[in-house]
């Protein structure tokens, strides 16, 4: 399907399910969308279609399912943002987590047999034809190996990569349009975000990468009371197949079952926050797709519940600079040090040079103070982030694409934590963790540890230090001479360009003067030729001279 036909299908699906009613036309006036596009939506032929009997949430879910995996992933993200979308819509979109229509089991078996190069009966002692779950890019079947161990077999949907690339091409076209008409779209770096999203979703199709991510996350939390990650059966893994240990637990979204098992919801919610910060700031390797369909709970000990994470296809990492920036920002917010928040934003380059730091600090203070007047347990970090970005947009703060996964994951975690334990105090749980991290990674103690860790290297290089200094001095002098030569060449070039420009102006003025002089000198003979109406040679000659001169001047 070419991009145009795909775009037509998207428009048709949006019309069929009347998705236009999800947009509040009254609020369009407060956006930077040009008036012509607002009227285009108001007068859209879509409004001629009947709304139908489905609820708005179901219409949105069915439309996303019809459009495929890229759009299903978007719906999964929306389903966790109950602080931003209506609850009825969020409940319906939650069905996208693992209730996506499955593909035929015979197709799945054929894919498995081709990858393993053996019949399904030889590969497994038992293979369940009924899918355990069906998601946007793959579906899962349970099986039993010949050694008796229970496993799950994840099979990538056929031809899914082609569909994803086509959808991303269409989304890029839409993003290009939005960037042209909307300042907000440019500030959000939609193109860069889409590039990151495409890399992320295509990475989900390689089961070997997911196997590697799963094994590493399992190693990071080996023996941890907070998180369990299933074992990878490497001998069965291929590009389009992943075989993992089968786990048993309660899905995180099944609150009724968790409560019926006597689960300590406070401990569970706090461990979710601790797990997130451990992955981000200790391991720098975090599960970035922690929607409810991917998280289960081991309640064998209800007072000490443990998370079970599956689907490790999307993993996030940060640079040391990003880690340091985020840690300092979070602590500054916790300590209500708004001057530090403003300085960090300016130093990181997130807001343009020339921004008034005092004014920026004032805006952040006005935003934060009303929030901190509430009890800490009532402060929602996700809402705070949304308001912060909205306030900072007036200073043209740019969203950093490399941090989109982190922001999404943090919002997932808080959204889940609030559902489990509404009194969850994210700040109280996170602050001691961040203070400990800062003490270990920033300041004199961290500097001393760095020196101690690199002591052998420094001692090894110490005898070479004089030579290194002399070499560095020589290189600096060479660099200075090179810069001087380049500066002289640049000055030379500027002078030559100036002379050429001056000569061009002189030639244009001279040409114009000659044209005027020729016109004056030949005006008499031309007048006589016109009166005689016979010999027009003089007139033709003048016209040719004028046109030729004009073309030369233009050249």
Q: Which two tokens stand for residue 186?
A: 């440019």
Burial class (CB in 10 A: 0-12, 13-18, 19+), 464: exposed
Using DSSP, state whether 421 is helix, strand or coil: coil
End-to-end CA distance of the chain: give it in Å, rounded. Answer: 48
Q: Which two tokens stand for residue 281?
A: 């700031």
Reference 399, options 324, 348, 335, 338; nearest CA is 348
Q: Identify whether the C-beta of residue 290 lies closer than 8 Å to the C-beta of residue 415.
A: no
φ/ψ (deg, to 5) at 277: -65, -30
CA-to-CA separations, 23 to 19, 27, 56, 85, in angstroms, rounded: 8, 8, 11, 12
- Hey, which residues does 139 pair with through a beta bridge? 134, 155
Q: In the block, which residue shows the tokens 């808080």?
A: 414
CA-to-CA separations, 465 to 199, 412, 445, 448, 475, in angstroms, rounded: 44, 51, 25, 21, 15
49-61: buried (b, 16+ CB within 10 Å) or exposed (e) per residue? eeeeeeebbbbbb
Catalytic residue from among 98, 289, 311, 425: 289
The contacts of residue 90 (CB under 8 Å, 6+ apart) are 57, 78, 79, 80, 81, 82
Using DSSP, state whether 336 is helix, strand or coil: coil
φ/ψ (deg, to 5) at 133: -155, 155
> Helix 69-79 and helix 190-203: axis angle, to 10°?
100
The contacts of residue 101 (CB under 8 Å, 6+ apart) are 65, 134
DSSP secondary structure, 107-137, as one string: HHHHHHHHHHTS-HHHH-SEE-SS-SEE-SS
Name the strand (E) or helix (H) holding 220: helix 207-220
For residues 202 and 225, give the distance between their C-alpha atoms in angstroms, rounded to a whole number. 32
Q: In the block, which residue shows the tokens 């308001």?
A: 387
Is 289 noted as a catalytic residue in this protein? Answer: yes
Catalytic residue numbers read: 289
């Amino acid at each position: 399907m070419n991009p145009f036909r795909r775009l037509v299908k998207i428009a048709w699906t949006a019309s069929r399910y009347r998705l236009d009613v999800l947009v509040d036309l009254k609020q369009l006036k407060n956006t930077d969308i040009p008036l012509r596009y607002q009227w285009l939506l108001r007068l859209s032929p879509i409004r001629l279609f009947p709304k139908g009997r489905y609820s708005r949430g179901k219409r949105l879910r069915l439309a996303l399912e019809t459009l495929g995996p890229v759009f299903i992933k978007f719906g999964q993200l929306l389903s966790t943002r109950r602080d931003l979308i209506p609850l009825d819509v969020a409940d319906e979109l939650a069905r996208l987590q693992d209730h996506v229509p499955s593909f035929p089991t015979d197709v799945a078996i054929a894919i498995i047999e081709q990858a393993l190069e053996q019949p399904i009966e030889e590969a497994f002692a038992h293979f369940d034809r009924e899918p355990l779950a069906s998601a946007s890019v793959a579906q899962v079947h349970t099986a039993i190996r010949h050694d008796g161990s229970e496993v799950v077999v994840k099979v990538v949907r056929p031809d899914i990569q082609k569909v994803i690339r086509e959808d991303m091409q269409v989304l890029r076209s839409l993003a290009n349009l939005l960037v042209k008409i909307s300042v907000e779209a440019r500030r959000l770096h939609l193109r860069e975000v889409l590039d990151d999203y495409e890399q992320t979703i295509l990475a989900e199709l390689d089961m070997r990468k997911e196997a590697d991510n799963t094994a590493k996350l399992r190693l990071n939390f080996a023996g941890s009371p907070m998180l369990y990650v299933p074992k990878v059966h490497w001998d069965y893994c291929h590009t389009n197949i992943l075989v993992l240990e089968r786990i048993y637990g309660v899905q995180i979204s099944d609150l009724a079952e968790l409560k019926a098992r006597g689960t300590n919801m406070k401990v569970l919610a706090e461990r979710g926050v601790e797990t997130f910060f451990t992955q981000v700031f200790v391991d720098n390797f975090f599960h970035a797709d922690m929607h409810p369909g991917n998280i289960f709970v081991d309640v064998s000990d209800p007072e000490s519940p443990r998370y079970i994470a599956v689907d490790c296809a999307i993993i996030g990492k940060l640079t040391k600079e990003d880690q340091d920036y985020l840690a300092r920002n979070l602590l500054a917010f916790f300590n209500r040090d708004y001057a530090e928040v403003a300085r960090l934003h300016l130093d990181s380059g997130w807001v343009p040079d020339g921004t008034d730091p005092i004014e920026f600090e004032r805006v952040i203070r006005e935003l934060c103070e009303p929030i901190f007047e509430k009890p800490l347990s009532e402060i929602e970090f996700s809402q705070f982030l949304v308001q912060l970005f909205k306030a900072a947009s007036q200073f043209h703060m740019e969203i950093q694409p490399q941090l989109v996964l982190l922001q999404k994951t943090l919002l997932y975690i808080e959204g889940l934590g609030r559902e489990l334990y509404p009194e969850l105090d994210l700040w109280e749980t996170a602050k001691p963790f961040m203070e400990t991290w800062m003490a270990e990674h920033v300041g004199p103690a961290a500097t001393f540890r760095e020196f101690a860790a690199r002591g052998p290297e420094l001692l090894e290089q110490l005898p070479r230090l004089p030579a290194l200094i002399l070499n560095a001095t020589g290189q600096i002098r060479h660099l200075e001479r090179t810069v001087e030569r380049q500066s002289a060449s640049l000055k030379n070039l500027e002078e030559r360009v100036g002379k050429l420009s001056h000569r061009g102006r002189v030639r244009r003025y001279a040409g114009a003067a000659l044209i005027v002089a020729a016109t004056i000198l030949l005006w008499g003979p031309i007048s006589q030729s016109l009166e005689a109406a016979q010999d027009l040679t003089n007139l033709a000659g003048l016209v040719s001279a004028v046109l030729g001169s004009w073309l030369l001047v233009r050249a």
